[in-house]
Chain A
Amino acid sequence: MIQNFISEEKSLACVHCGLCLSACPTYLETGNENDSPRGRIYLMRNIQTQRVTVDNTVMRHIDLCLGCRACENACPSGVEYGHLLEHARDYFEKTHNRSFSQTFLRRIAIEQVFPFPWRLKFVLFFSTILRLPIFRWALPQFAKESLLLLPKEAISKSPPEYSPSLEKNVGRVGFIEGCVMQVMFGATHDNSIALLNQQGWDVASPKKQGCCGALYAHSGQLDKARECARNNIAAFEREKLDAIIINAAGCGSTLKEYGQLLGNDPAWSERAARFSAKVKDLSEWITPENLKPSNREIIVTYQDACHLAHPQGVTAEPRELVKAVAGDNYIELQEADVCCGSAGSYNLTEPEMAKKLQNRKVRNLIDTGAEIVVTANPGCLLQIQSGLKKAGSGMKIMHLADYLIEYGE
């Protein structure tokens, strides 16, 4: 007997209208309804009612989903696709046997490395050695692809536990370090904290914090994700904070959903909701007023990180910030919110589709004629950077915080 893995009410909210189809990046690429939100929801429901069994073919369509949640924004019925997907994946992971290499990639390579900064540093160290041609032939294709994504000069550094503002003090915010951000983009953290300090915020970054749990939640391991959530809630509860700031969109959307994740845990649900209500993306917290326009004539565009644009609905704020610096040199990007194929660890598990979407994004970027593209998530940064490089484009991709600090004065 199959257990009810998705809530009937939530899945029945889908009235099969199809309005979500053209928002879905995988459907845009394959044209196959099985790779669309409506198709996937239909598959899930039919699995639940046992008209469809979970086999490799069906799993392909579920695996191919980016979890970008563009469909949620397009859906007039308010279908909580992200929620359905997480629960379906949680169930499939427990019941469906994957091939050895897929299991290795998912359970070991990704989930045992990314969430642990020191392990990630270790891998980065080896990857620097492996970049030497002599080591490269020995690697499988997916590993070569992943190497291309790693930044050459990763700056690995954890921000100080406490960074006071030297300006007129307006309050105090918490700061989430994140795993990938901390290891690969230490400079971005410095810049984010500098921006907050400039606008009068003291910044606290408690040492006890850890992985946000997004990687687990997205791959269907809700129990592990809940553990991460409890740890972070406890770490930040000790401080009296006006907000908890995150500069990585993927983590941000998970942090904002702790309330839901722990909704059925009486000891934690309230604390989780309180925590989530405080979480803000950096772009939601800093204001354009104090930024100085750049006097350089450089064309800049902005690409939406899926997890900022779709589940968090933050699209106007980062654009306002970029425009405050770029002025008339700001140009809008076509399909700005169509996923670039990064989607957490997606480019490692589904390299083929990831590459197609990467090419699509790069084509659109090159069409803008911009010299700089700004975004707000480490995954997008790596994915687009490697795509631009492969295409031989000189366009520079920057995190919002880096762009504002480097060009904003």
Chain B
Amino acid sequence: MNKEELANQLRSICGADAVITDEQELVVYECDAYTLQKNHPTAVVLPQNTEEVVAVVRLCAENDLPIIPRGAGTSLSGTVLAVEGGVMIALTRMNRILSLDTRNRRALVEAGCVNSWITQKADNFGLFFAPDPSSQSACTIGGNVATNAGGPHTLKNGVTTNHILGYEIVLPDGSIEWLGTTPEGGEEVDGFDLRGATIGCEGMFGVITRVLVRLTKKPTSFKTYLGVFDSVDAASQTVSDIIAAGIIPAALEMMDQLIIRAVEEAYHFGFPLDAGAILIVELDGLSGGVGDQGQIVETICKQNEAREVRAAKDEEERAAIWKCRKRAFGAVGRISPNYLTQDGVVPRSKVPEIMRFIKATSVKYNLRIPNVFHAGDGNIHPLILFDERKDGEVKQALRAGEDILNKCIEMGGSVSGEHGIGAEKIDFMERQFSKDDLGAMQFLRIAFDPGKRCNPHKMFPGSKRCSDFAPRKQAAA
């Protein structure tokens, strides 16, 4: 089938304004928030409902075309890259909250619904949707399920999979399955937990169309501390000590000096610019317990020579702290034209060591590397700053990232905490997993997608690369 025929057929399914095949318009679909690899899909469709998704998926099955599910395209690892073209199915028009069942604390939403909209809607009933990736104001539930997204508050609340009861998925052959709890059903489901097996599939098992999410009761009290330290070492030690004291904060986040400066420039919160590191420690629960734990946290911070420890004085200040934290990645745009976000995990006790390694890497490649990350989980996010207009900087940045991730594996950690493998980290899979492990993963994948047509060339070693890898020198990021 040639492109024109494909376009016509897609239009007859979804309507003319829901199909994009003009190369000029496909440009904006050539990458997600990871901009180092680019390629145009053959077409993008914006279906309105599950029936349209099914018809599009069938059409692709009949013509042996790749399909690439897409949410908001905020992925940081190129998971929505159309490596070899194919039909990109963007769920951005399927974005409604279908029902809110406050008694059973669950909500049924379409896959394109934006994460934060659920909490906005549930807030009136004292409920919220717990997974809170920093991109929550834009990323979709479908994308969260497909990447098993986490966020600052996953330390206590758990990642996406802990909050997804069930979902509807259109398999690559066009059949519809509901996995897990149905909107009418009870929480317990007999048989295999296939729901869990496909969460984190990075769009390789089919197109998720509707999701039944769990809502959580809002804690009655919060205490959010800011600890200011002279060095990353002291802050890292504090993290270890807090966990060792048996306290599980709702969130435990670290920002280093470079990121503090970027954030301060953006939001003028009043962070001290000469601080070596800042810890955000949030405790939640019943007010009595929060108060007691707060005392311990303060003591631990001071033992580690915190220059200053203070609690947010009210909800407004707490919101301001989180705004700074959640939008820290983006704020980096103010100090560098490009950045590469790395996402690795190390055992919590190794946080001081990996931070020292990152600093050494920064010196080695002569690139600035600010850090803002989920210290409580040992989930690091070094942001490698570069300017793609400068000769060789892209390559240097990639190498620096590679060194850091290799170190994570060496320390017994992993190469992705939450951003996924996608197109970016394929090479690390062999280093982190044995051949048998990878074989088992392929086995599961083939059970869902025997033709390997769904979001192909991701995650598994030996996958094809984009022709536009390590980009030409151009201003467009």
Q: Does B associate with A?
A: yes
Chain A residues close to B by CB (< 8 Å): 8-9, 11-23, 27, 30-34, 36, 38-39, 42-43, 45-46, 48-49, 51-53, 55, 57-58, 61, 74-79
B339 within 8 A of A: yes
B379-438 interface (Cβ within 8 A of A) = none
Residues of chain B within 8 A (CB-CB) of A55 are: 24
Residues of chain B within 8 A (CB-CB) of A30 are: 17, 46, 93
Chain A to chain B contacts (Cβ below 8 Å), 17 pairs: A9-B337, A12-B337, A17-B74, A17-B333, A19-B138, A22-B72, A22-B114, A23-B137, A32-B92, A33-B73, A48-B475, A49-B476, A51-B476, A57-B25, A74-B137, A75-B330, A78-B333
Q: B252-293: contact bitstring with A at CB < 8 Å (1 yes, 0 no)?
A: 000000000000001000000000000000000000000000
- Please give the distance in Å from B429's CB to the nearest CB on chain A: 25
CA distance A17 to B476 in the complex (A): 14
Q: B109-120: contact bitstring with A at CB < 8 Å (1 yes, 0 no)?
A: 000101011000
Q: B93-135: contact bitstring with A at CB < 8 Å (1 yes, 0 no)?
A: 1010000000000000000101011000000000000000001
Interchain CB contact under 8 A, A42 and B138: no
Residues of chain B within 8 A (CB-CB) of A79 are: 333
Interchain CB contact under 8 A, B27 and A31: no
Interchain CB contact under 8 A, B114 and A39: no
Given known pairs A22-B72, A77-B332, A79-B333, the reply for A14 and B477 (CB within 8 Å) is yes
Q: Which of A31, A43, A46 has the most CB of B within 10 A?
A: A31
Given known pairs A22-B72, A31-B90, the reply for A76 and B331 (CB within 8 Å) is yes
B446-477 interface (Cβ within 8 A of A) = 474-477
Report the interface size for chain B: residues with CB under 8 A from the other chain: 44
CA distance A23 to B116 in the complex (A): 12
Interchain CB contact under 8 A, B477 and A15: yes
- Please give the distance in Å from A253's CB to the nearest CB on chain B: 21
B334 within 8 A of A: yes
Q: B16-33: contact bitstring with A at CB < 8 Å (1 yes, 0 no)?
A: 010010101101110111
Interchain CB contact under 8 A, B28 and A18: no
Given known pairs A32-B46, A78-B334, the reply for A52 and B475 (CB within 8 Å) is no
B317-347 interface (Cβ within 8 A of A) = 327-334, 337-339
Interchain CB contact under 8 A, B31 and A22: no
B35 within 8 A of A: yes
- Please give the distance in Å from B234's CB to the nearest CB on chain A: 28
CA distance A27 to B90 in the complex (A): 13
Q: Which of A11, A15, A74, A77 has the most CB of B within 10 A?
A: A15
Interchain CB contact under 8 A, A46 and B476: yes
Interchain CB contact under 8 A, A76 and B333: yes
- Please give the distance in Å from A30's CB to the nearest CB on chain B: 7
Residues of chain A within 8 A (CB-CB) of B35 are: 16
Q: Taking CB as reference atom, which chain B residue is nearest A8?
A: B475
Q: Which of A20, A75, A76 has the most CB of B within 10 A?
A: A76
Q: Which residue of A13, A32, A42 contacts B334 across the interface (Cβ within 8 Å)?
A: A13
Residues of chain B within 8 A (CB-CB) of A14 are: 333, 477
CA distance A93 to B216 in the complex (A): 52
Given known pairs A12-B337, A75-B330, A76-B329, the reply for A18 and B27 (CB within 8 Å) is no
